[in-house]
Structure 1
Amino acid sequence: MDCIFCDIVAGRRESHRVHEDEDVVAFLDARPLFPGHTLVVPRAHHETLTDLPAADVGPFFTRVRRITAAVEAGMEAAGSFVAENNRVSQSVPHLHVHVVPRNRKDGLRGFFWPRSRYGSEEEAAAVAARVRAALPD
């Protein structure tokens, strides 16, 4: 398997690390939206969030939370944008969470894709029912 993030985790590829422990590595994105844009990855290779074992989700996001606070404080940001893609728009097939420092009028406009409303309350209720029915046990 050839994975850029596994290479970073193993120290075979250079990165600007901001945190590492037994479970995660956090490093600056090589193509940041803004200075301080950090990626948080699990040491173990999991392609997507849905591949991460359930027991690891809480500990992983506890670290994401900690890194988010550090990015905001370290970059003197008013807030942050925290995002994760599964397959679509996922540039590297290794679970990673983007932590991007944000400030008012920084040029980013909400989400990067068009948004719309449901046609009716009935349509929204039907969509919610489909998602509920697909919830794993």
Structure 2
Amino acid sequence: MAREFHRTDRIADAMKRELAQLIQNEIRDPRVGMTNVNDVEVSRDLSHAKVYVTFVGEDDAKKIEDGVQVLNRAAGFLRSQLAGSIQMRAMPRLSFRYDETSVRGQQLSALIDKAVAADRKDLDEGEDGQQDDNQEKSQD
């Protein structure tokens, strides 16, 4: 059976696509830079929308915070532009938030890689010890 899509899901998807274009083409502030719109969550009553963004190549917390502030200040402008392209009775208020899932994913991936490397090192050391024991037994 096909999954039913709720109206909020369809609106969130349309807003995500439009916001990505609008931020890229209309926001000229250098603090925003290259911005990815990762997700949009629209409330059930369609009055609020949380927009989760990341900034390409930014690791500095201060620059990320500044970028989010710029987007939140431009939220009214972006909302009016969205209202022109998405036909709705009332456009949800926009609230921009930094999406930490990609950063957290990279950290977890690094931890996994470190653990795998440590296991390989331990396994290799164990095999070397067994080979030395086998060589000593064959010489006897």
User: Is the pair's TM-score, using the shorter chain for normalization, greater than 0.5?
Assistant: no
TM-score (norm 1): 0.31
Q: Which has the larger radius of gyration?
A: 2
TM-score (norm 2): 0.31
